[in-house]
Structure 1
Amino acid sequence: MAQSLGLSRATVGFVLNDTPGQTIPVSTRRRVLSEAARMGYRPHRAAQTLRRGSSKVILFVLPDWAAGLTMQQHLDEAALALDEAGYSLVTCTRYTAGRARPLWELLTPDVVLGLSPFDAGELASMHACGITRIIPAPEQPTTLDDWPALTAGTALQVDHLHEQGHRRIAFAAPADLHTPLLDHRVRTAQQAATRLGLAPIDIRPVDHGDGSAREAVRHWRDAGVTGIAAYNDDTAAAVVGAAVRAGVSVPEDLAVIGHDDTPLAALFVPSISSVRIDIVSLGRHFAAFALHEADGRRLPPRDTRTDTVVMPRESTQAGSGMPHEAVFPSPDGITAPTARP
């Protein structure tokens, strides 16, 4: 390339590597970049990393959990903020089998972050790659308690139901999900019930397609339960749907609140109360934290009190003026009662 342009290799290298402190004319830079594009040039990532001492990559290692819409939105916001700072956010999933080569060995990221501590083998692999910025660090282990935006909403769900006058509360869990996050939310619900002087929370698995939601509603009604905190909005929708098909008034006889405030919550009929997470603020804070670890940028203070808030809707608010009993045929073909005037 240098020969075809009649330039020195050093000049071409300075332009392609965007080397600071060089006084190269704009016209020369344009010529080099135009020729590089014509030739299909791509920078050698490993060489750039070695030269700069930085890959400009942040690697976020996700647990082997189903990533819902909220997590995807959170990552999108974080990726945008990091891109504005000149960094790339790369995510990978930490599978139990772990047969694939770890992505940090291929990318040599500036920072590796995870939701849970890395084991000795993973840490040894990172250290062998020269990665020193690892979160959580072995000497500072973290738990889900350190990620309150993921877990604090469950206590808000129970508090909201209690404020609406419900004293027998249950928790609806996805039937096919078994993760530390679910376990943590169940524990949080139980702790909230104890704090409020309520009976222990009854936990039931719920799925919209196997009849378990219908069975759970029947069980809860027989047990005198009047309020349901659901793991997420999908689970809440399964409970509400089963209730209205069984002729159970929502929210007069059974109030339900979801989590994550996805579009489904507002679109469902009746609309579903839910816990909203401030995705934009959390994504930006995650990016700021990653940049702080990567190159020492100042970590701005933030108020976390509004990270999670309850969005009350018809599924917990009586007197909304909406139909409260089933208007759909039930799965067994028996038409449920019509809505009350």
Structure 2
Amino acid sequence: MTERDATVLSLARASQESGLSTAAAPKRVTAADVARSLGLSRATVGFVLNDTPGQTIPEATRERVLAEAKRLGYRANSAARALASGRSRIILLVLPEWPLDYSMRSHLDEASLALDEAGYSLVTMTPHPGGQARPLWETLRPDVVIGMTPFDRERLAEIRASGVPHVIPPVPSGADGSVGDLGFARGPRLQVEHLLHTGRRRLAFAASPDPRVADLVHQRRELALRTLVEATGSGFADEAALTETNAAATVESWRDMAIEGVVAYNDDIGALVLGAALRGGIEVPGRLAVIGHDDTPVARLIVPALSSVRIDTAGLGRYLAALALSATGEAPAPTAGPETDATLVARETT
């Protein structure tokens, strides 16, 4: 028996011996229990615990109810409250099948914090092709459903049919008047412009092979390509999706093709290019300049430090929260778009 098996077995035995596997859950304290303890009517206690407007409950009575509820361990039944109010106070954010990378975590954290301060919970889900799980907009009945990318007509109709009162974006992808995605700014343009400014004109694009981000890779490549063509009249000298397996050979071929600069889809790909160049004896930035995107911690920590493009992903998180709260009627609509302005961060690789 391995040490791991022994640990699992001992935990199982401890659970059985302590009765944890069969012990009944403690009885939930209800408003009726609080009322009975104080000798008050259930209506009075309910008015206090639910903070019902328009009731003239003496302040002393209110304080007694709240103190007794705390002493007894009363917790509001959120399901019942949601049913009574018609609100779940849940915001559902539907994510595409992107990796949960540093940038994504950053703006999800910020959105969650902003919504929590307003009394809402942020829940995320990623629908998978052919998935069998019941969608969360049906099981949770959220107050708002937000898509990180626009919903197609079928998905939008499905969400609305489930009874969700507010959907953002409110129009399907490609429809007239679509707000488009909640997108990311002009980072690829800055990448190309910076390399051109440093005198590099023969450029390559380094993509990610991850099929989950194929659309985002395409979006960034197209903007970078358009910028390069506008400035020089020609496109990338080469482009490739880099992996740990092909990075060395690809970067070596770029040296033979006299590539002067590499526009990387993100910092992870940029670091892959940089590592392959250094191991292959290619001087960076003397012989080859490299610039990433997203300004993740890896860009600052590797040596030489990777030039990158910084996006205020926390600002995007706050914007998502503001959109959701304005849909619920608890905040005005944001007066400005998402704070996703891109900023060039020049470091040692350019």
TM tier relative to shorter chain:
0.7 to 0.9
8 A contact 2:97–2:126 mirrored in 1: yes
Task: Give 1:146 deviation, angstroms.
Answer: 4.1
Of 201, 210, 234, 1:199 maps to 234
| Identity within the alignment, % | 46
Q: Does 1:65 align with 2:98?
A: yes
1:221-232 to 2 correspondence within 5 Å? Answer: 221-232=255-266
Distance 1:172 1:71 in 2: 21
Which stretch of structure 1 is more off in the superposition, 296-305 or 246-255? Answer: 296-305
Q: 1:261-301 CA distances to partner (integer Å, 9 max, x unpaired)? A: 11111110000001111123222122111111221622343
* CA positional deviation for 1:305: 7.8
Residue 164 of structure 2 corresponds to 131
Cα distance in 1 between the residues matched to 2:37 and 2:154: 49
Q: 1:287 to 1:205 in 2, by over 3 A?
A: same
Look up the match of 1:187: 222
Report the counterpart of residue 198 of structure 2 in structure 1. 164
Q: 1:49, 1:304 → 2: CA distance? A: 30
Q: Does 1:29 align with 2:54?
A: no
Distance 1:223 1:305 in 2: 39
- Structure 2 equivalent of residue 336 of structure 1: none
State the alpha-carbon separation in 2 of the partners of residues 42 and 112 from structure 1.
24
**8 Å CA contact retained: 1:16, 1:33:** no
Cα 1:309–1:296 change in 2 (3 A) is same
C-alpha spacing 1:306/1:111, structure 2 compared with 1 (3 Å): closer
1:94 aligns to 2:127 (yes or no):
yes
Supply the distance in 2 between the matched residues of 1:101 and 1:258 (Cα, whole angstroms): 38
Please state how far the C-alpha of 1:5 moved relative to its aligned partner. 3.7
When the two structures are superposed, what TM-score results if normalisation uses the length of structure 1? 0.83
Letter matched to residue 225 of structure 2: Q
> 1:249 aligned to 266, 280, 283, which one?
283
Query: How does the TM-score come out when normalised to structure 2?
Result: 0.81
Report if aligned partners of 2:150, 2:172 keep a CA contact under 8 Å in 1: no
- CA distance in 1 between counterparts of 2:314 and 2:54 reads 36
Deviation digits for residues 209-259 of structure 1 (CA, Å, limit 9, x no counterpart): x1x111111121122211111111111111000001111000011000111
Q: CA deviation at 1:128?
A: 3.1
SS at match of 1:161: helix
Deviation, structure 1 residue 8: 1.6
In structure 1, what is the Cα distance between the partners aligned to 2:210 and 2:285?
26
Q: How is 1:71-86 mapped onto 2 (pairs within 5 angstroms)? A: 71-86=104-119
CA contact (8 A) 2:94 2:148 kept: yes
Confirm or deny that 1:217 pairs with 2:251: yes
Cα distance change of structure 1 residues 44 and 297 upon mapping to structure 2, 3 Å threshold: closer
Count of residue pairs the alignment pairs up: 309
1:283 to 2:317 alignment? yes
Post-superposition CA distance 1:20-59 (Å, at most 9, x none): 344342122110233244xxx45142x3223222221111
Tell me, which stretches of 5 or more residues in structure 1 are unaligned?
A: 317-341
Question: What is the SS of the residue equivalent to 2:91?
Answer: strand
Corresponding letter in the other structure for 1:25? R
Which consecutive residues of structure 2, in runs of 5 or more, have no partner in the other structure?
Answer: 1-32
Please say if residues 107 and 314 of structure 2, whose CA atoms lie closer than 8 Å, have aligned partners that are also in contact: yes
Aligned to 2:346: 312
Aligned to 1:266: 300
Which letter maps to 1:200? Answer: G
d(CA) in 2 for partners of 1:75 and 1:305? 14
Instruction: Give, as a single letter, the amino acid of the residue that structure 1 aligns with 2:243.
Output: D
Q: How far did residue 193 of structure 1 move?
A: 1.1
SS at match of 2:146: strand
CA-based RMSD: 2.3
